[in-house]
Amino acid sequence: MDHFPLLDIAIGLTLIYTFLSLLASELTEFLATLLRWRSAQLQRGIMTLLGEAVPGNPHTEEFKNSITGKLYSSSLIASITQRSRWHRRFVGPSYIPSPVFADALIEVLKMLEAEHPSDLLKETDRPVSELAQLLTRIEASNQISPCLKDNLRRLARSAETRAKTTELQMEQFKQEISLWYEFSMDRLSGVYRRKTKLMTILIGSILAVLINADSLFMLRRISENTATRSVIIENALQIQGCETDLSSTQCMAQLDTLLDGTTIPIGWHPVNFHQQFPKYAPTYLLRAVVGWLLTGIAISMGSRFWFQILEQFVEVRETGEKPDEG
């Protein structure tokens, strides 16, 4: 396999993408934490689930008086809410377990005020279940959207059908709410992953421009310069110690040493610049833009993806003919 240039080129590019993906993923995670993407996405998803309009400012009185606002103010949700150091106010959690959500929603529903309080007394002449009492309060409230009322009716009917006794209806109702919430959160997780993917592509493209990581230029340089390619491949075999943990200090130190000690076509060095832009022409600039974008897309695949491919390439390259028995 020592004379297989295509495999050598693939290993060289994969090594570069692995290092850049590590850096881009850390930047994306830092921005997600700083801007509270997860908590904001969860709050918007819960408001959509409860059939309420998403406000521009979640700290207004309108939000606090909504079902979602009361849900976040409940004791169960408030116990997992932390105060932001930057904004000096409470921000919503980034994750709410489904049993906690179900208990908190029922707690809020039991405290609703009826539009016509007399409606709550219609069924007091005969014993009714706890679930039936809760549904009566829900129907009599004007704070719940019609969409949420319809969903709660459907969940209550399912609970009444599945529960063996009247006493178990409320417990079954909580389970139905939990399943309803989990299904919505699965869809919300897909939306969040897509948004994070687009943000990672953007961050990767910006990073590619800042350090001049042009995939088309790197491909041409590695394929043309046999000596550079050989150095990259020889050093690539040294990172096998990263198999246990890609983010370990030892692994990051090896990658830094590898990239510092290897001549690769990355950076705004005058030699790279003159080879990448032999003359001032829109064609070369357009080609560089396409190369930077390709790098951003490759970075968005993630370091784990590229490291697994690198392992496969290295394993193929190390595979050779069995030594003769002497």
Do 56 and 69 lie in one domain? The reply is yes
| DSSP bridge pairs for 83 | 90
Report the SS3 class of residue 264.
coil
> For residue 217, what are the CA distances in angstroms to 13, 167, 222?
11, 71, 9
Question: Across residues 234-263, what is the average pLDDT?
Answer: 56
Do 174 and 228 lie in one domain? The reply is no
Q: Is 169 exposed, middle or buried (0-12, 13-18, 19+ CB in 10 A)?
A: buried
Do 41 and 184 lie in one domain? The reply is yes
Do 267 and 166 lie in one domain? The reply is no
Domain final residue, candidates 141, 167, 189: 189
Do 213 and 309 lie in one domain? The reply is yes
Do 62 and 184 lie in one domain? The reply is yes
Domain final residue, candidates 189, 215, 231: 189
Please give the torsion angle defined by the CA atoms of residues 32, 37, 42 and 43, in that order, rounded to the nearest 10 degrees: 150
Residue 80 inside a domain? The answer is yes
pLDDT for 58 equals: 60
Report the SS3 class of residue 58.
coil
The token pair at 196 is 């994070």
* 246 contacts: CB under 8 Å, gap ≥ 6: 22, 303, 304, 307
Q: What is the pLDDT of residues 108-145, one digit of tens each?
A: 988 876 555 555 445 545 456 788 888 888 888 888 88
Domain of residue 253, residue span: 5-33+193-318
Question: Across residues 50-62, what is the average pLDDT?
Answer: 71
pLDDT for 309 equals: 86
Q: Is the pLDDT of residue 276 over 90?
A: no
Residue 325 inside a domain? The answer is no
**DSSP per-residue string spanning 167-215:** GGHHHHHHHHHHHHHHHHHHHHHHHHHHHHHHHHHHHHHHHHHHHT--H
* 36 contacts: CB under 8 Å, gap ≥ 6: 84, 91, 94
Do 54 and 148 lie in one domain? The reply is yes
Give the count of domains, the chain.
2
Do 208 and 282 lie in one domain? The reply is yes
Whether the CB-CB separation of 159 and 173 falls below 8 Å is answered with: yes
Confidence of residue 83 (pLDDT cuts 50, 70, 90): low
Domain final residue, candidates 167, 189, 211: 189
Q: Is the pLDDT of residue 187 over 50?
A: yes
Mean pLDDT, the chain, rounded, equals: 78
Do 247 and 183 lie in one domain? The reply is no
Question: Across residues 239-249, what is the average pLDDT?
Answer: 56
Q: Rounded to whole angstroms, how far apart are CA atoms 198 and 300?
A: 8
Q: Rounded to whole angstroms, how far apart are CA atoms 241 and 254?
A: 9
Residue 323 inside a domain? The answer is no
Residue 101 inside a domain? The answer is yes
User: Percentage of the chain surpassing pLDDT 90?
Assistant: 17
Whether the CB-CB separation of 13 and 219 falls below 8 Å is answered with: yes
The backbone torsions φ and ψ at residue 141, rounded to the nearest 5 degrees and listed phi first, read -90, 140
Do 163 and 209 lie in one domain? The reply is no
Q: Is the pLDDT of residue 85 over 60?
A: no
Please give the torsion angle defined by the CA atoms of residues 308, 314, 317 and 321, in that order, rounded to the nearest 10 degrees: -100
Q: At residue 201, what is the residue type?
A: I
The token pair at 17 is 């993408």
Residue 20's nearest CA partner among 272, 297, 270 is 297
324 DSSP assignment: P
> For residue 104, what are the CA distances in angstroms to 40, 73, 166?
19, 9, 22
Q: What spatial distance separates the first Cα and last Cα of the chain, rounded to whole Å?
A: 23
Residue 157 inside a domain? The answer is yes
Question: Across residues 153-178, what is the average pLDDT?
Answer: 89
Do 245 and 138 lie in one domain? The reply is no
Confidence of residue 237 (pLDDT cuts 50, 70, 90): very low
Residue 14 inside a domain? The answer is yes
Residue 267 inside a domain? The answer is yes
Do 226 and 136 lie in one domain? The reply is no
Q: Is the pLDDT of residue 255 over 70?
A: no
Least confident stretch, 65-79, 234-248, 292-306? 234-248
Residue 230 inside a domain? The answer is yes
